[in-house]
Structures are given as structure tokens and as C-alpha cells.
Amino acid sequence: MVYRGGLENRFGRKPNGGSNPSLSARYIFVNDWIHIGIWAVVIGAVFGYLWWQGQIQRLAVYVSETREELKKCAWPNWEELKGSTALILVMIALLGGFIVLVDRVLFYIFIH
């Protein structure tokens, strides 16, 4: 039975200033655990189905092969990384300036 309309705290205040929990609060707590349990079962079932189909093994092979390929890549050192970052920032600023310039010119041509 769920009480509504302000009757949840029908027992009054406790000596420490707090109030007794309502009956409906217990149902909400249990309801949360039921939802968690249902989602755990659903996620477990999906994982089990993917395992049965061999998709988990395929994912593990994919991750392993990706790691091997990444070991073959040439990674930039700190100086190359700083230089590339600076170049990208300069190019973004130039592109932004160009777009602003073209926007102002077209605005002047078509609006005025």
C-alpha cells in the first residue's frame, strides 16, 4: 500500500530531528534493485549470446592485431609533435582569417 498526499510521514519526527522513512520509500528502493537486476540479466544474456556466436573471440583477435599494427607505426618525438601542433594552430588561424575576410567581402557586396 502506497500512501499519497503528504501521508508518507505519518509517524511524526524522531527525537534527533529526522523523520521516520515512509513505506513508499522502501518500495522505491526495492524497485531500484529490481531494475538493476533486470539490466544485469539482460546485459549478461547479450554477453552470453555474443560469446556463443564467437563475437567476443573475434573482438579479442581484432584488439590483438590492432596492437601489433600500432607497434609498427612511427610515432613522432616531442619536438616533432610540438612543431606539428604549432603548424596546425597557424593553419587554423589563417583559415579562420580567410573565412572572416570572405564573409565580410560577400556581406558588403550583397547587403550594401
Domain ranges of the chain: 1-73, 74-112
In angstroms, the CA 23 to CA 43 distance is 31
Angle between helices 23-53 and 55-72 (to 10 degrees): 70
Predicted local confidence at residue 33, as pLDDT: 82
Cα dihedral sign, 31-47-67-62: negative
- The residue with greater pLDDT, 30 or 15, is 30
pLDDT tens digits for range 31-89: 788 889 999 999 999 999 998 999 989 999 999 999 999 999 998 999 999 999 999 99
Cβ–Cβ < 8 Å for 46, 40: no
Residue 29: predicted pLDDT: 62
The more confidently predicted of residues 38 and 19 is 38
CA angle at 95 for the pair 94 and 97, rounded to the nearest 5°: 65
pLDDT in tens, 20-39: 555 555 555 667 888 899 99
DSSP 7: -
For residue 78, the model assigns a pLDDT of: 94
How confident is the model at residue 20, as a pLDDT?
A: 53
